[in-house]
Structure 1
Protein backbone atom coordinates (compact mmCIF):
# COMPACT_ATOMS: atom_id res chain seq x y z
CA UNK A 1 0.00 0.00 0.00
CA UNK A 2 1.31 3.44 -0.95
CA UNK A 3 1.81 5.88 1.90
CA UNK A 4 -0.18 9.10 1.75
CA UNK A 5 1.53 12.50 2.10
CA UNK A 6 -0.10 15.86 2.80
CA UNK A 7 2.14 18.60 1.39
CA UNK A 8 2.06 21.85 3.38
CA UNK A 9 2.68 25.14 1.57
CA UNK A 10 6.27 25.70 2.75
CA UNK A 11 7.41 22.66 0.73
CA UNK A 12 5.86 24.04 -2.46
CA UNK A 13 7.38 27.45 -1.71
CA UNK A 14 10.89 25.99 -1.45
CA UNK A 15 10.28 23.92 -4.58
CA UNK A 16 9.13 26.84 -6.72
CA UNK A 17 11.45 29.55 -5.37
CA UNK A 18 14.39 30.96 -7.26
CA UNK A 19 17.71 29.63 -5.91
CA UNK A 20 18.64 31.32 -2.65
CA UNK A 21 22.04 32.68 -1.68
CA UNK A 22 21.30 31.84 1.97
CA UNK A 23 23.06 28.52 2.65
CA UNK A 24 20.33 27.00 4.81
CA UNK A 25 17.53 28.03 2.49
CA UNK A 26 19.53 26.78 -0.51
CA UNK A 27 20.04 23.43 1.23
CA UNK A 28 16.30 23.18 1.96
CA UNK A 29 15.59 23.97 -1.69
CA UNK A 30 17.99 21.26 -2.88
CA UNK A 31 16.53 18.69 -0.49
CA UNK A 32 13.02 19.63 -1.59
CA UNK A 33 13.97 19.16 -5.24
CA UNK A 34 15.55 15.80 -4.38
CA UNK A 35 12.36 14.69 -2.64
CA UNK A 36 10.21 15.98 -5.48
CA UNK A 37 12.20 13.82 -7.92
CA UNK A 38 10.98 10.70 -6.07
CA UNK A 39 7.51 12.00 -5.14
CA UNK A 40 5.84 9.28 -7.20
CA UNK A 41 6.61 6.82 -4.40
CA UNK A 42 3.75 8.39 -2.40
CA UNK A 43 0.14 9.41 -2.89
CA UNK A 44 0.22 13.20 -2.59
CA UNK A 45 -2.49 15.56 -1.37
CA UNK A 46 -2.90 19.24 -0.64
CA UNK A 47 -5.85 21.36 0.51
CA UNK A 48 -7.67 24.49 -0.56
CA UNK A 49 -5.64 26.29 2.11
CA UNK A 50 -2.39 25.28 0.38
CA UNK A 51 -3.76 26.66 -2.89
CA UNK A 52 -4.78 29.93 -1.22
CA UNK A 53 -1.41 30.32 0.49
CA UNK A 54 0.38 29.50 -2.78
CA UNK A 55 -1.50 32.34 -4.52
CA UNK A 56 -0.15 34.93 -2.07
CA UNK A 57 2.55 37.53 -2.72
CA UNK A 58 4.45 38.03 -5.98
CA UNK A 59 2.44 37.00 -9.05
CA UNK A 60 5.34 35.25 -10.79
CA UNK A 61 6.23 33.25 -7.69
CA UNK A 62 2.55 32.40 -7.16
CA UNK A 63 2.32 31.10 -10.71
CA UNK A 64 5.36 28.85 -10.19
CA UNK A 65 3.88 27.52 -6.93
CA UNK A 66 0.46 26.90 -8.46
CA UNK A 67 2.03 25.07 -11.41
CA UNK A 68 3.63 22.62 -8.97
CA UNK A 69 0.24 21.93 -7.37
CA UNK A 70 -1.45 20.91 -10.62
CA UNK A 71 -2.82 17.39 -10.55
CA UNK A 72 -2.47 16.86 -6.81
CA UNK A 73 -5.43 15.48 -4.87
CA UNK A 74 -7.26 18.06 -2.75
CA UNK A 75 -8.42 17.23 0.78
CA UNK A 76 -11.62 18.99 1.78
CA UNK A 77 -12.45 20.57 5.11
CA UNK A 78 -14.60 18.38 7.34
CA UNK A 79 -16.30 19.01 10.66
CA UNK A 80 -13.71 16.74 12.28
CA UNK A 81 -10.82 18.73 10.80
CA UNK A 82 -12.39 22.04 11.81
CA UNK A 83 -12.96 20.83 15.38
CA UNK A 84 -9.45 19.39 15.58
CA UNK A 85 -7.83 22.61 14.33
CA UNK A 86 -9.70 24.55 17.03
CA UNK A 87 -8.58 22.07 19.66
CA UNK A 88 -4.94 22.22 18.58
CA UNK A 89 -5.01 25.97 19.30
CA UNK A 90 -7.14 25.79 22.46
CA UNK A 91 -4.98 23.06 24.00
CA UNK A 92 -1.72 24.92 23.26
CA UNK A 93 -0.19 22.69 20.58
CA UNK A 94 -0.02 25.69 18.26
CA UNK A 95 -0.29 29.40 19.06
CA UNK A 96 -3.34 31.48 18.16
CA UNK A 97 -1.35 33.24 15.42
CA UNK A 98 -0.78 29.86 13.71
CA UNK A 99 -4.41 29.03 12.90
CA UNK A 100 -3.58 28.07 9.32
CA UNK A 101 -0.85 25.71 10.57
CA UNK A 102 -3.39 24.07 12.86
CA UNK A 103 -5.67 23.58 9.85
CA UNK A 104 -2.85 21.83 7.94
CA UNK A 105 -2.24 19.44 10.85
CA UNK A 106 -5.97 18.85 11.37
CA UNK A 107 -6.66 18.15 7.70
CA UNK A 108 -3.81 15.65 7.51
CA UNK A 109 -4.99 13.88 10.67
CA UNK A 110 -8.71 13.93 9.84
CA UNK A 111 -8.06 12.45 6.41
CA UNK A 112 -5.77 9.73 7.74
CA UNK A 113 -2.64 10.90 5.98
CA UNK A 114 0.50 8.93 6.85
CA UNK A 115 2.79 11.98 6.62
CA UNK A 116 2.54 15.76 6.83
CA UNK A 117 5.45 17.19 4.84
CA UNK A 118 6.61 20.67 5.88
CA UNK A 119 9.55 23.00 6.31
CA UNK A 120 7.62 24.91 8.98
CA UNK A 121 9.72 23.86 11.96
CA UNK A 122 8.52 26.72 14.14
CA UNK A 123 4.93 25.56 14.54
CA UNK A 124 4.34 22.27 12.73
CA UNK A 125 7.53 20.18 12.70
CA UNK A 126 8.39 21.34 16.19
CA UNK A 127 9.86 18.55 18.33
CA UNK A 128 8.76 20.26 21.55
CA UNK A 129 5.11 20.26 20.40
CA UNK A 130 4.99 16.95 18.53
CA UNK A 131 3.85 14.83 21.50
CA UNK A 132 1.05 17.28 22.33
CA UNK A 133 -0.06 17.42 18.69
CA UNK A 134 -0.16 13.62 18.60
CA UNK A 135 -2.07 13.40 21.87
CA UNK A 136 -4.70 15.90 20.71
CA UNK A 137 -5.15 14.09 17.40
CA UNK A 138 -5.53 10.76 19.17
CA UNK A 139 -8.06 12.20 21.62
CA UNK A 140 -10.14 13.20 18.58
CA UNK A 141 -9.94 9.58 17.35
CA UNK A 142 -7.47 10.50 14.58
CA UNK A 143 -4.18 8.80 13.94
CA UNK A 144 -1.68 11.66 13.88
CA UNK A 145 0.40 11.93 10.71
CA UNK A 146 4.15 11.64 10.95
CA UNK A 147 5.24 15.27 10.70
CA UNK A 148 8.52 15.55 8.81
CA UNK A 149 10.61 17.56 6.38
CA UNK A 150 11.45 16.47 2.82
CA UNK A 151 14.94 15.60 4.09
CA UNK A 152 13.49 13.17 6.62
CA UNK A 153 11.08 11.60 4.15
CA UNK A 154 13.90 11.06 1.66
CA UNK A 155 15.50 8.75 4.20
CA UNK A 156 18.59 7.01 2.90
CA UNK A 157 17.74 7.29 -0.82
CA UNK A 158 20.63 8.28 -3.04
CA UNK A 159 19.13 11.12 -5.02
CA UNK A 160 21.14 13.45 -7.22
Structure 2
Protein backbone atom coordinates (compact mmCIF):
# COMPACT_ATOMS: atom_id res chain seq x y z
CA UNK A 1 0.00 0.00 0.00
CA UNK A 2 1.25 3.45 -0.92
CA UNK A 3 1.69 5.77 2.06
CA UNK A 4 1.20 9.35 0.81
CA UNK A 5 4.22 11.64 0.90
CA UNK A 6 3.85 15.11 2.38
CA UNK A 7 6.29 17.95 1.80
CA UNK A 8 6.11 20.20 4.85
CA UNK A 9 7.06 23.81 4.27
CA UNK A 10 8.39 26.17 6.91
CA UNK A 11 4.95 27.32 8.04
CA UNK A 12 3.97 23.79 9.08
CA UNK A 13 7.17 23.26 11.06
CA UNK A 14 6.54 26.57 12.83
CA UNK A 15 2.86 25.69 13.22
CA UNK A 16 3.85 22.91 15.59
CA UNK A 17 4.54 25.63 18.18
CA UNK A 18 2.10 28.37 17.08
CA UNK A 19 -1.07 28.51 19.19
CA UNK A 20 -3.24 29.26 16.14
CA UNK A 21 -2.12 26.15 14.21
CA UNK A 22 -0.76 23.89 16.97
CA UNK A 23 -3.66 21.45 17.48
CA UNK A 24 -4.06 20.59 13.80
CA UNK A 25 -0.32 20.52 13.15
CA UNK A 26 0.31 18.18 16.05
CA UNK A 27 -2.53 15.93 14.91
CA UNK A 28 -0.73 15.64 11.58
CA UNK A 29 2.41 14.48 13.44
CA UNK A 30 0.29 11.99 15.41
CA UNK A 31 -1.15 10.60 12.21
CA UNK A 32 2.36 10.28 10.80
CA UNK A 33 3.31 8.27 13.91
CA UNK A 34 0.30 6.08 13.13
CA UNK A 35 1.70 5.33 9.68
CA UNK A 36 -0.65 7.48 7.60
CA UNK A 37 1.94 9.83 6.09
CA UNK A 38 5.58 10.06 5.11
CA UNK A 39 7.06 13.49 5.85
CA UNK A 40 9.56 15.09 3.49
CA UNK A 41 11.13 18.52 3.36
CA UNK A 42 14.19 20.18 1.86
CA UNK A 43 17.37 22.05 2.58
CA UNK A 44 15.44 25.17 1.59
CA UNK A 45 13.19 24.70 4.62
CA UNK A 46 16.28 24.06 6.77
CA UNK A 47 17.68 27.41 5.57
CA UNK A 48 14.40 29.22 6.18
CA UNK A 49 14.15 28.02 9.78
CA UNK A 50 17.80 28.70 10.61
CA UNK A 51 16.76 31.93 12.34
CA UNK A 52 13.56 30.49 13.84
CA UNK A 53 13.13 30.00 17.58
CA UNK A 54 15.11 27.06 19.01
CA UNK A 55 12.03 24.88 19.54
CA UNK A 56 11.13 25.17 15.83
CA UNK A 57 14.65 24.21 14.77
CA UNK A 58 14.55 21.30 17.23
CA UNK A 59 11.22 20.07 15.82
CA UNK A 60 12.72 20.14 12.33
CA UNK A 61 15.80 18.19 13.44
CA UNK A 62 13.73 15.61 15.34
CA UNK A 63 11.28 15.16 12.45
CA UNK A 64 13.58 14.85 9.46
CA UNK A 65 16.55 12.64 8.76
CA UNK A 66 18.75 14.93 6.68
CA UNK A 67 20.15 11.99 4.72
CA UNK A 68 16.82 10.58 3.54
CA UNK A 69 13.98 13.04 4.18
CA UNK A 70 15.34 16.26 2.64
CA UNK A 71 14.77 16.51 -1.09
CA UNK A 72 17.58 18.05 -3.11
CA UNK A 73 17.21 21.19 -5.21
CA UNK A 74 18.37 20.50 -8.75
CA UNK A 75 18.81 22.59 -11.86
CA UNK A 76 15.51 21.19 -13.10
CA UNK A 77 13.81 22.53 -9.97
CA UNK A 78 15.42 25.96 -10.37
CA UNK A 79 14.29 26.07 -14.01
CA UNK A 80 10.70 25.19 -13.11
CA UNK A 81 10.64 27.74 -10.29
CA UNK A 82 11.81 30.35 -12.80
CA UNK A 83 8.91 29.41 -15.09
CA UNK A 84 6.47 30.07 -12.21
CA UNK A 85 8.06 33.48 -11.69
CA UNK A 86 7.99 34.30 -15.42
CA UNK A 87 4.29 33.39 -15.51
CA UNK A 88 3.63 35.71 -12.55
CA UNK A 89 2.25 32.98 -10.32
CA UNK A 90 4.27 34.57 -7.50
CA UNK A 91 6.60 37.56 -7.61
CA UNK A 92 10.36 37.28 -7.34
CA UNK A 93 10.01 38.50 -3.75
CA UNK A 94 8.51 35.06 -3.01
CA UNK A 95 10.76 32.93 -5.18
CA UNK A 96 11.30 30.45 -2.36
CA UNK A 97 7.59 29.64 -2.49
CA UNK A 98 8.03 28.87 -6.20
CA UNK A 99 10.96 26.62 -5.28
CA UNK A 100 8.87 24.71 -2.73
CA UNK A 101 6.27 23.97 -5.41
CA UNK A 102 8.94 23.03 -7.94
CA UNK A 103 10.58 20.67 -5.44
CA UNK A 104 7.25 18.87 -4.93
CA UNK A 105 6.50 18.78 -8.64
CA UNK A 106 9.86 17.43 -9.79
CA UNK A 107 10.14 14.92 -6.96
CA UNK A 108 6.48 13.88 -7.45
CA UNK A 109 5.50 14.42 -3.82
CA UNK A 110 1.83 13.64 -3.21
CA UNK A 111 1.04 16.89 -1.35
CA UNK A 112 2.74 20.16 -0.49
CA UNK A 113 1.44 21.02 2.99
CA UNK A 114 1.44 24.63 4.16
CA UNK A 115 -0.27 27.17 6.37
CA UNK A 116 0.72 29.88 3.85
CA UNK A 117 -2.66 30.85 2.40
CA UNK A 118 -1.37 33.97 0.65
CA UNK A 119 1.26 32.40 -1.61
CA UNK A 120 0.66 28.63 -1.63
CA UNK A 121 -2.65 27.26 -0.30
CA UNK A 122 -4.71 29.44 -2.55
CA UNK A 123 -7.00 28.44 -5.43
CA UNK A 124 -5.67 31.11 -7.80
CA UNK A 125 -2.02 30.34 -7.09
CA UNK A 126 -2.57 26.57 -7.33
CA UNK A 127 -4.21 27.06 -10.73
CA UNK A 128 -1.23 29.13 -11.84
CA UNK A 129 1.35 26.62 -10.62
CA UNK A 130 -0.54 23.79 -12.29
CA UNK A 131 -0.98 25.68 -15.57
CA UNK A 132 2.80 26.13 -15.72
CA UNK A 133 3.31 22.48 -14.76
CA UNK A 134 1.12 21.31 -17.63
CA UNK A 135 2.81 23.65 -20.12
CA UNK A 136 6.21 22.34 -18.98
CA UNK A 137 5.17 18.67 -19.16
CA UNK A 138 4.74 18.03 -15.44
CA UNK A 139 1.81 16.59 -13.52
CA UNK A 140 -0.34 18.90 -11.41
CA UNK A 141 0.77 19.48 -7.83
CA UNK A 142 -1.50 19.23 -4.78
CA UNK A 143 -1.13 22.17 -2.37
CA UNK A 144 -3.17 21.80 0.81
CA UNK A 145 -3.27 22.76 4.47
CA UNK A 146 -3.00 20.29 7.37
CA UNK A 147 -6.73 20.42 8.14
CA UNK A 148 -7.51 18.91 4.76
CA UNK A 149 -5.29 15.95 5.60
CA UNK A 150 -6.19 15.29 9.20
CA UNK A 151 -9.92 15.32 8.55
CA UNK A 152 -9.62 13.31 5.33
CA UNK A 153 -8.00 10.50 7.28
CA UNK A 154 -10.84 10.05 9.76
CA UNK A 155 -13.28 7.22 9.25
CA UNK A 156 -16.64 8.16 7.81
CA UNK A 157 -18.42 7.11 10.98
CA UNK A 158 -19.98 10.57 11.32
CA UNK A 159 -21.99 10.13 8.09
Give me the whole-angstrom Cα distance separating, in 2, the residues matched to 1:141 and 1:3: 22
Structure 1 unaligned spans of 5+: none
Per the normalisation by structure 1, the TM-score is 0.84
Tell me if the contact between 2:133 and 2:140 (Cα under 8 Å) persists in the aligned partners: yes
**Equivalences for 1:24-63 in 2 at 5 Å?**
25=20, 28-39=21-32, 40-63=35-58
- What secondary structure does 2:96 align onto? helix
Q: How far apart are 1:156 and its partner, in Å?
A: 3.9
Give me the whole-angstrom Cα distance separating, in 1, the residues matched to 2:149 and 2:59: 23
Give me the whole-angstrom Cα distance separating, in 1, the residues matched to 2:26 and 2:63: 12
Q: Which residue of 2 aligns with 1:7?
A: 8
Q: How far apart are 1:70 and its partner, in Å?
A: 4.2
Give me the whole-angstrom Cα distance separating, in 2, the residues matched to 1:143 and 1:14: 28
Tell me if the contact between 1:55 and 1:66 (Cα under 8 Å) persists in the aligned partners: no
Tell me which stretches of 4 or more aligned residues in structure 1 moved more than 2 Å. Answer: 57-72, 155-159
Q: Which residue of 2 aligns with 1:121?
A: 117
**Equivalences for 1:76-115 in 2 at 5 Å?**
76-115=72-111
Structure 2 unaligned spans of 5+: none
Per the normalisation by structure 2, the TM-score is 0.85
Q: How far apart are 1:37 and its partner, in Å?
A: 0.5
Give me the whole-angstrom Cα distance separating, in 1, the residues matched to 2:70 and 2:52: 22
* Count of residues in Structure 1 that have an aligned counterpart in Structure 2: 151
